[in-house]
A = this chain, B = another copy of it.
Amino acid sequence: MEAALRTLRSMAGPQDDAAETWRVLVGVFLYQRDRFLALARDLGITPVHVQTLRMLRAAPCPMRALAAELQCDASNVTAIIDRLEARGYVERRPSVTDRRVKLVVLTAEGISAADRVEAALYEPPAAMASLTATERAALRSLASRLAGGNDAAPTQPS
């Protein structure tokens, strides 16, 4: 009963269609999210490892820089890279300019895994095909105005 009242209160009135529109978009995304998490399980890694693969896919990276982008402690990066290395996805290479630094680079297998991650993240929902090219163009145009000039940033759903 109280729950029903809360539900009622949370329902968008006809005037704030902005909220309702966003609600629909969130629903679309949440629905797609599970597919991405399933891939991580499939690759035998966690979302943090997935994010790391995506960063390394862009470019090799020192441990310290990974810590900064992952917003975690350097000691944790050691553990994360240990696991990716055990999986055969990355290699530690000594930097030639600074012998303190280790550069983490993707192996061939790591590249393949990172490519699968990238494809899964950006694989459109099947229903996208049911829109006409014109409709997709309209959707893209409206969505990019929502993004406010923001590109798809190299972060990922965890």
In the complex, the answer to whether A147 meets B27 with C-beta atoms within 8 Å is yes
Number of this chain's copies in the complex: 2
Residues of chain B lying within 8 A (CB to CB) of residue A114 = 6
Q: How far is the CB of A15 from chain B (nearest CB, A)?
A: 10
Q: Which of A62-70, A74-82, A117-125 contacts B (4 or more CB under 8 A)?
A: A117-125
The distance in angstroms between the C-alpha atoms of A7 and B142, with both chains bound, is 25
Known A24-B143, A144-B24, A147-B24; judge A152-B3 contact (CB<8 A).
no
Interface residues of A (CB under 8 A from B): 2-3, 6-7, 10, 17-31, 33, 57-60, 111, 114-115, 118, 121-131, 133, 135-140, 142-148, 150-153, 155-158
